[in-house]
């Protein structure tokens, strides 16, 4: 089944999957719709919460797509090939629709989205005669060029009929299977299905842990009883949608290899999968895997962490705690922490009963400070300890017999300080059974849970009450970062749902399975996992809805009578009746509580009201709680045939301290009018006065009642027939009212280029970023209050300067614009939270949590813009002629090294270009040249092919890839005033490099014969002088920077931005080959000197011949004549 996003304009093509007759009727309409779609330009923004849409696309990257399956795509080392077909009941219909769409110029588009990237790809428009599906083939490098094993985000894929139209939108996921760390390993001995089946009778509980960046990659562990030893873990890469897709491993031998086989009663207790490590708590100790990014063998190896003084009885009660965060494109300040807590108080000889460690989890430090001798303290158990990476602090949840508290300490250099960051937060005594504390993934929402649930949005400084479960206790919480869903499961099996940051919650059902766990996959679908089968939300109506597992949403009403009291025509108060003889221990079951806030009261007759406020009070007598509700649909009143008393007048008199006697006076003779037993628990409503709940019938004409508002009781007054009414919110014949969740009442819209709900934005030093959010009320029959609909919370307010401006537009929609700017040199990350505080838990999006990093974006880089742009095809061919017929591409000799200052024949650089280890090295005659020169990419290989140079590396200017570089730009000697044009590129576009981005320029091969020319404005000169004194290098203004070269052959320059103006180490390299240069000194001088000497010598000889009257030419003539005469005589003879 595929999850459907919502279109931004409400346009949907007609459904055409029912019958042939409907097809014939709807195909002409389709043509009209396609024509309109091609004429009008629609917004490409996504509006969430608009309701359910149909799942029309079925797609697969492996095999043929199956109907009604969620779209799960996998990226391997090969190209991504996807087949999609338009879902319909018969093949002929699918073919017809493909033909119609294709003839109209419509084909699906594929959006690949994560927190920092959005790519749009288009399916082929051309169809073959026998094809019933669309096809797309995307080269892997068009999606990502990385192939290293690392924590990497799983992509969301969004398939629409046409990009920008958002019709028939269907969503799925794309997982990079060759980069996901845990998928590159065998965790242990692979188990068969029969082996797993033998374990079921011995399983007593289940534990899951999922990859922080790819929630479809998940582990399921069996907790065993004492009758069978072992550690058994199942691994799924598809989110546990199919039990048979799970690979099961036996890790028992791994544990025994560490502790010895003499130990018994081995079982897994808990486990955590971090970004780079797997941590498993067993009954025999804590085991930590090697770094998952660096496979050294086929089977994953583990090491054991030692905790002095702790034995099996402690380990089986231990718990692991982890603040789940995705560290894709990891920063230096991002690190995973894991905590282990033991259910006992520490002794004086023990360091702690709680330990924490950061990756690689080799050193485990005590969470608690040492106990000083003579120090009197009330021993408290550490229920939970978590590390808050946003605020660099450690958060404790303490509990003892007297109180429950939260303490926050500063964490610096992996050490906890003794000084409290905030004052101790003391929970009320009613929070008597705390179970744990957890951060919602990728956010700063901190939940403490047990018999109550509390929420902190400021790192543990303060907490807000969310829910009270009285004698029930929440034992587990389950979270979805994508939909912001949070599910609480109590010990009694009841299941509750809230949204991250929302102050309200709902009951969504219960689970009767004895052994189960819940799990949210990457798209927010909830799954129920049991030892022998998995259940997914097979009939999910929309995002985040859990009906598929829990069935129909339960009635959140309670067994008592309600008494309505009008306040205005559109508002009323409902009082919950508590009988006088109600046992004290069950009074809470007759009262409204926080779960009812924001819900709808429905009458069995007619009528609906929206609960806006919960009230708890001690008066009036018999009513200990009430709700203020806004009427959406009027409630039905009792008719005369249902209560004959309505035919009489009514008088009211005091009958006791808190009761009143209602008396009937017949107005019309011959009419039967009396109180009946069925009137008990009905409410008399008199406009403008107190209402009265009938509690007892005295006789046909008199009844006892209690007043909802004693101050407005109309004493000794008579009300004629028709001026008073009866409402029935009783329960004598079954409860006549119920309470359910309100349908989604707000639409949510991002005004941003990103299509992700969990966008990540980088803010560089001195820069800012703006976000814009729109909330559109969808509250039929409910008044929209003129108060801000969004609540904004900053996870770390000390990191960024955040400015917020909100306003209503002309359509009652609420817009909020946020600007976040860096304000210090401090690097870090913080989450923002935009909470639609009045939204129903039925909405997909109630909370938008972008992450802002005060850091350098991995997408930010500086590039040199060459003076002459050479097309890629010319680079490949090696020929690009300028207007003078000069080839501007130089193919470097094999194993080329640029000249040094000692001469062309004596290269001294370590950098080879166009390296080939199988070929001889030129210019290698001198000793210094032989000592220099080192292969990089081609080190320890014998041929160039083994260097594995990619095309990107062959065209890279970086010195790190000089071995691969074959061709470089070529210029005629001399190069004068070459403009060094630089631009900074990022996800926000590109800007020219100018002040304050001052730069340094170096030649990487230490060549000379080049110089730079630039202008230095007065406002830059002081900064330039200051930086040069610190960097001990010339500093240049990049604006108008020109280069002149008087040397020959290859020059390789590196331009670097000075530190302090950006979090990025911005640098760029470029190369220039100078050709057709004159002979270097002293060659040119020697040739000129030799020519001068030769010419001077010839002149001197001619002069001497002239002085001595020597005529060499005449002598030559005589010799020639003599030779001719001699030859004639010889011929005659």
DSSP string, 131-199: --SEEEEE-HHHH----S----PPEEEEEESSTTT--S-EEEEEEETTT-GGGGSB-SEEE-HHHHHTT
Q: How confident is residue 210, by pLDDT bands cut at 50, 70 and 90?
A: very high
Asked if residues 328 and 151 have their Cβ atoms less than 8 Å apart, the reply is yes
Please state the three-class secondary structure of 44-96 as a single string. Answer: CCCEECCCCCCCCEEEECCCCCCCCCCEEEEECCCCEEEEEEECCCCHHHHHH
Condensed to tens digits (0 to 9), the pLDDT of residues 305-354 reads 988 888 889 999 999 999 999 999 999 999 999 999 998 765 544 557 89
Q: How confident is residue 14, by pLDDT bands cut at 50, 70 and 90?
A: very low
Asked if residues 86 and 57 have their Cβ atoms less than 8 Å apart, the reply is yes
Residues near 950 by Cβ (< 8 Å), separated by ≥ 6? 964
Predicted confidence (pLDDT) at residue 164 exceeds the cutoff of 70: no
Alpha-carbon gap, residue 510 to 532, rounded angstroms: 20
Q: Determine whether 562 is exposed, middle or buried from the number of CB atoms within 10 Å of its CB (0-12, 13-18, 19+).
A: buried
Asked if residues 819 and 769 have their Cβ atoms less than 8 Å apart, the reply is yes
Peptide bond into 996 cis (omega under 30): yes
Beta bridge partners of 908: none
Q: How many CB atoms sit inside 10 A of residue 1055's CB?
A: 21
Condensed to tens digits (0 to 9), the pLDDT of residues 503-523 reads 999 999 999 899 999 999 999
> Burial letters for 314-339: b for 16+ Cβ neighbours within 10 Å, e otherwise?
ebbebbbbbbbbbbbbebeebbbbbb
- Most confident listed range (335-349, 541-555, 774-788, 974-988): 974-988
Alpha-carbon gap, residue 515 to 979, rounded angstroms: 72
Please give the model's pTM, rounded to 2 decimal places.
Answer: 0.87
C-alpha distance from residue 1074 to each of 394, 703, 885 (Å): 60, 110, 16
Provide the pairing of β-strand 337-341 with 354-358.
Answer: antiparallel
Predicted confidence (pLDDT) at residue 816 exceeds the cutoff of 90: yes
pLDDT value for 1086 = 78
Q: Average of pLDDT values for 596-615?
A: 94
285: region left, alpha or beta (phi > 0 left; psi from -120 to 50 alpha): left
Condensed to tens digits (0 to 9), the pLDDT of residues 19-34 reads 444 444 444 544 444 4
Q: How confident is residue 41, by pLDDT bands cut at 50, 70 and 90?
A: very low
Q: Average of pLDDT values for 1017-1032?
A: 90
Q: Phi and psi (nearest 5°) for 712?
A: -115, 25
Condensed to tens digits (0 to 9), the pLDDT of residues 989-1023 reads 899 999 889 999 999 999 999 999 998 888 889 89
For the chain, give the mean pLDDT: 87
Q: Which two tokens stand for residue 88?
A: 């319909």
Asked if residues 556 and 494 have their Cβ atoms less than 8 Å apart, the reply is no
Predicted confidence (pLDDT) at residue 132 exceeds the cutoff of 80: no
Does residue 453 or residue 1087 have the better pLDDT? Answer: 453
Q: Average of pLDDT values for 402-424?
A: 92
Asked if residues 330 and 275 have their Cβ atoms less than 8 Å apart, the reply is yes
**Whole-number percent of the chain with pLDDT over 70:** 87
**Among 276-290, 625-639, 1101-1115, where is mean pLDDT lowest?**
1101-1115
Q: How confident is residue 546, by pLDDT bands cut at 50, 70 and 90?
A: low
Q: Average of pLDDT values for 664-681?
A: 87
Using DSSP's 3-state secondary structure scheme, residue 617 falls into coil
Q: Average of pLDDT values for 394-421?
A: 92
pLDDT value for 1019 = 84
pLDDT value for 8 = 36
Condensed to tens digits (0 to 9), the pLDDT of residues 684-743 reads 999 999 999 999 999 999 999 999 999 999 988 899 999 999 999 999 989 999 999 998
pLDDT value for 126 = 65
Alpha-carbon gap, residue 523 to 545, rounded angstroms: 12
Q: Average of pLDDT values for 666-678?
A: 84
Q: What is the DSSP string of 262-279?
A: T----BEEEEEE-SS-EE
Q: Average of pLDDT values for 846-863?
A: 93
pLDDT value for 418 = 86
Which of 313, 320, 249 minimizes the C-alpha distance to 288?
320
Q: Which two tokens stand for residue 544?
A: 């985040």
Backbone Cα Rg of the chain: 41
Q: What is the DSSP string of 469-515?
A: -TT--EEEEEE-TTT-EEEEEETTSEEEEEETT-S-EEEEEE---SS
pLDDT value for 94 = 60
Predicted confidence (pLDDT) at residue 636 exceeds the cutoff of 70: yes
The continuous run of DSSP H or E covering 43 comes out as: none
Alpha-carbon gap, residue 1063 to 333, rounded angstroms: 13
Q: Phi and psi (nearest 5°) for 180?
A: -65, 120
Q: How confident is residue 261, by pLDDT bands cut at 50, 70 and 90?
A: confident
Which of 761, 836, 821, 858 minimizes the C-alpha distance to 1064?
858
Q: How many CB atoms sit inside 10 A of residue 422's CB?
A: 17
């Amino acid at each position: 089944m595929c999850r459907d996003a919502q279109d931004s304009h409400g346009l949907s093509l007609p459904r055409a999957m029912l019958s042939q007759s409907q097809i014939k009727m709807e195909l002409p309409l389709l043509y009209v719709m396609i024509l309109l779609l091609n004429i009008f330009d629609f917004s490409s923004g996504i509006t969430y919460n608009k309701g359910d849409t149909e799942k029309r696309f079925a797609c697969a990257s492996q095999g043929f797509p199956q109907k009604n399956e969620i779209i799960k795509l996998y990226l391997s080392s090969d190209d991504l090939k996807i087949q999609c077909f338009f879902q319909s009941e018969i093949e002929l219909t699918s073919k017809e629709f493909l033909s119609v769409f294709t003839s109209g110029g419509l084909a699906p588009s594929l959006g690949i989205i994560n927190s920092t990237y959005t790519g749009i790809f288009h399916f082929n428009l051309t169809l073959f005669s026998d094809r019933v599906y669309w096809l797309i083939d995307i080269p892997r490098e068009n999606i990502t060029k990385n192939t290293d094993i690392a924590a990497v985000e799983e992509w969301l894929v969004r398939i629409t009929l046409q990009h920008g139209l958002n019709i028939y939108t269907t969503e799925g996921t794309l997982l990079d299977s060759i980069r996901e760390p845990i998928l590159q390993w065998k965790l242990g001995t692979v188990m068969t299905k029969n082996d797993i089946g033998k374990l079921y009778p011995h399983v007593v509980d289940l534990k899951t842990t999922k990859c922080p960046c790819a929630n479809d990659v998940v582990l399921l562990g069996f907790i065993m009883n004492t009758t069978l030893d072992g550690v058994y873990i199942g691994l799924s890469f598809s989110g546990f949608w199919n039990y048979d897709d799970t690979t099961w491993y036996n890790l028992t031998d791994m544990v025994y290899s560490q502790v010895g086989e003499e130990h018994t009663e081995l079982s897994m207790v808990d486990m955590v999968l971090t970004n780079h490590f797997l941590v498993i708590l067993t009954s025999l100790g804590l085991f930590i895997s090697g770094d998952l990014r660096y496979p050294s063998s086929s089977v994953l190896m583990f090491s054991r962490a030692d905790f002095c003084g702790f034995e099996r009885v402690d380990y089986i009660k231990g718990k692991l705690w982890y603040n789940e965060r995705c560290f894709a494109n990891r920063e230096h300040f991002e690190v995973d922490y894991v905590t282990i807590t033991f259910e006992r108080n520490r002794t004086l000889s023990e360091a702690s009963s709680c330990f924490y460690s950061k990756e690689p989890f080799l050193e485990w430090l005590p969470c608690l400070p040492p106990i000083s001798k003579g120090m009197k303290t009330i021993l408290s158990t550490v229920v939970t300890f978590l590390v808050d990476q946003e605020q660099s602090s450690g958060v404790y949840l303490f509990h003892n017999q007297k109180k429950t508290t939260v303490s926050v300490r500063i964490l610096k250099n992996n050490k906890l300080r003794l000084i409290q960051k905030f004052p101790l937060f003391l929970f009320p005594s009613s929070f008597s059974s705390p179970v744990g504390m957890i951060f919602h993934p990728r956010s700063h929402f901190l939940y403490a849970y047990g018999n109550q649930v509390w929420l902190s949005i400021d790192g543990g400084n303060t907490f807000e009450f969310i829910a009270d479960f009285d004698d029930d206790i929440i034992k587990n919480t389950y979270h979805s970062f994508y939909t912001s869903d949070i599910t609480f499961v109590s010990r009694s099996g009841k299941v509750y749902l809230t949204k991250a940051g929302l102050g309200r919650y709902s009951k969504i059902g219960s689970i009767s399975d004895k052994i189960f766990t819940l799990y949210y996959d990457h798209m927010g679908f909830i799954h129920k996992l049991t030892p022998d089968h998995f259940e997914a939300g097979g009939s999910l109506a929309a995002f985040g809805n859990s009906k598929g597992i829990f069935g129909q949403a339960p009635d959140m009403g309670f067994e008592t009578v309600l008494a309505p009291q009008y306040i205005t025509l559109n508002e009323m108060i409902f009082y919950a009746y508590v009988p006088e003889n109600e046992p004290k221990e069950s009074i809470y079951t007759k009262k409204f509580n926080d779960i009812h806030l924001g819900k709808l009261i429905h009458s069995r007759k007619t009528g609906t009201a929206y609960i806006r406020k919960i009230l708890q009070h001690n008066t009036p007598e018999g009513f200990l709680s009430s709700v203020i509700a806004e009427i959406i649909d009027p409630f039905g009143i009792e008719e005369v045939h249902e209560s004959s008393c309505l035919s009489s007048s009514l008088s009211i008199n005091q009958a006791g301290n808190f009761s009143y006697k209602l008396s009937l006076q017949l107005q019309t003779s011959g009419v039967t009018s009396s109180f009946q037993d069925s009137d008990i628990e009905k409410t008399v409503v008199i406009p403008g006065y107190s209402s009265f709940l009938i509690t007892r019938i005295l006789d046909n004409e008199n009844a006892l009642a209690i007043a909802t508002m004693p101050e407005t009781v109309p004493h000794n007054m008579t009300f004629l027939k028709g001026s008073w009414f009866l409402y029935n919110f009783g329960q004598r014949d079954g409860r006549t009212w119920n309470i359910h969740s309100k349908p989604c009442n707000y639409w949510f819209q991002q005004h941003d280029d990103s299509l992700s709900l969990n966008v990540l934005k980088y803010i560089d030093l001195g820069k800012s970023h703006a976000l814009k959010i729109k909330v559109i009320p969808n509250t039929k029959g409910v008044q929209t209050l003129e108060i801000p609909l969004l609540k904004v919370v900053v996870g770390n307010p000390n990191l960024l300067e955040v400015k917020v401006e909100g306003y209503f537009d002309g359509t009652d929609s609420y817009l909020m614009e946020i600007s976040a700017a860096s304000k210090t040199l401090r690097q870090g990350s913080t989450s923002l939270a935009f909470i639609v505080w009045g939204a129903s838990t039925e909405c997909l999006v109630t909370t938008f949590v972008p992450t802002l990093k005060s850091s350098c974006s991995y997408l930010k880089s500086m590039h040199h813009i060459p003076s002459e742009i050479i097309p890629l095809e010319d680079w490949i061919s090696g020929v690009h002629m300028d207007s003078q017929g000069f080839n501007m591409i130089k193919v470097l000799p094999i194993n080329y090294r640029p000249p040094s200052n000692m001469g062309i024949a004596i290269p001294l650089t370590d950098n080879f270009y166009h390296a080939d280890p199988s070929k001889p090295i030129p210019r290698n005659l001198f000793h210094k040249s032989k000592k220099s020169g080192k292969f990089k990419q081609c080190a320890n290989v014998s041929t160039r092919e083994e260097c594995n140079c990619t095309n990107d590396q062959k065209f890279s200017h970086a010195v790190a890839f000089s071995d691969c570089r074959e061709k470089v730009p070529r210029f005629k000697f001399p190069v004068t005033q070459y403009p060094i044009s630089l631009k900074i590129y990022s996800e926000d576009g590109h800007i020219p490099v100018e002040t304050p981005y001052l730069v340094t320029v170096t030649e990487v091969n230490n060549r000379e014969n080049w110089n730079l020319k630039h202008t230095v404005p007065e406002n830059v000169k002081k900064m330039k002088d200051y930086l040069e004194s610190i960097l001990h290098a010339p500093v240049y203004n990049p604006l108008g920077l020109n280069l002149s070269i008087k040397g020959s052959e290859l020059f390789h320059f590196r331009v670097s931005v000075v530190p302090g103006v950006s979090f990025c180490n911005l640098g760029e390299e470029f190369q220039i080959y100078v050709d057709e240069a004159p002979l270097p000194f002293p060659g040119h001088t020697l040739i000129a000197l030799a020519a001068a000497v030769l010419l001077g010598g010839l002149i001197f000889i001619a002069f001497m011949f002239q002085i001595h009257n020597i005529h060499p030419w005449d002598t030559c003539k005589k010799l020639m004549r003599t030779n001719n005469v001699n030859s004639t005589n010889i011929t005659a003879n």
